[in-house]
Structure 1
Amino acid sequence: MTQYRITKHSPEQRAGATPSWTSFSDIGESFGGEQLTEAAYAETEEGYLSAIRQFAAVQGVTALKVDGLEMYPESSWWQRVSEGDSLSLYEAIELSRSILHEDFVWCRLFAGSEFFVHFGYDFYMYVGVSNPAEGIVASIRRAGLYVDEFESPYAT
Structure 2
Amino acid sequence: MHQYRVVKYSAEERAGTVPAWTAMSDIGRSFGGEVLTEVEYLATEGRYLAAVRRFAAVQGVTGLRVDGLEVHPESPWWQRVAEGDRLPLDEAIELARSILREEFVWCRLVGDGDFFVHFGYDYYLYIGAERSPEEAVREVRESGLHVDEFESPYLT
TM class, shorter-length? over 0.9
2:96 paired with 1:96:
yes
| Comparing 109-118 and 21-30, the one that deviates more | 109-118
TM-score (norm 1): 0.98
For residues 3-152 of structure 1, what are the structure 2 equivalents within 5 Å?
Answer: 3-152=3-152
Alpha-carbon distance in structure 2 between the residues aligned to 1:135 and 1:112: 20
Tell me how far 1:113 sits from its aligned partner: 3.0
- Return 5+ residue gaps in structure 2 as ranges: none
Tell me how far 1:112 sits from its aligned partner: 3.1
| Comparing 130-139 and 93-102, the one that deviates more | 130-139
Tell me how far 1:98 sits from its aligned partner: 0.1
Tell me how far 1:133 sits from its aligned partner: 1.1
Tell me how far 1:125 sits from its aligned partner: 0.2
- The runs of at least 4 consecutive aligned structure 1 residues that moved more than 3 Å come to none
Cα root mean square deviation, aligned: 0.7
TM-score (norm 2): 0.98
Alpha-carbon distance in structure 1 between the residues aligned to 2:70 and 2:113: 22
Letter in 1 for 2:136: I
- State how many pairs are aligned: 156
Q: State the percentage of identical aligned residues.
A: 64
Tell me how far 1:150 sits from its aligned partner: 0.3
> Partner of 1:44: helix, strand, or coil?
helix
- Return 5+ residue gaps in structure 1 as ranges: none
Alpha-carbon distance in structure 1 between the residues aligned to 2:23 and 2:151: 23
Letter in 2 for 1:111: G
